[in-house]
């Protein structure tokens, strides 16, 4: 974060930037379709040892000007 006041403290300018990562291990419980190319699809739940990780990540930038 960076901020500054200008013109005898009458104006305020602020910039912020952040990045966030959230990770959940072994939480992918999505049901998968198998044999869809053969014309007979069936549902298969994931094997407990092959569960994947789920995660979110992203950045945020903002600017603010007060007068």
Query: Phi/psi of residue 48, each to 5°?
Result: -55, -30
pLDDT tens digits along 41-60: 555 555 555 567 788 899 99
Domain ranges in the chain are 1-25+52-67
pLDDT tens digits along 14-40: 999 999 999 888 776 666 556 556 655
pTM of the model: 0.51
Q: Dihedral of the CA atoms 20, 61, 5, 7 (nearest 10)?
A: 180
- If we measure between CA atoms, which residue out of 23, 3, 21, 22 comes closest to residue 13? 3
Token digits of residue 5:
């006041």
């Amino acid at each position: 974060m960076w901020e500054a006041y200008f013109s005898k403290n009458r104006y305020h300018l602020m910039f912020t930037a952040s990045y966030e990562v959230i990770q959940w291990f072994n939480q992918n419980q999505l049901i998968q379709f198998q044999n869809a190319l053969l014309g007979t699809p069936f549902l298969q739940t994931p094997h407990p040892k092959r569960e994947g990780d789920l995660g979110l990540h992203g950045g945020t930038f903002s600017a603010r000007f007060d007068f």
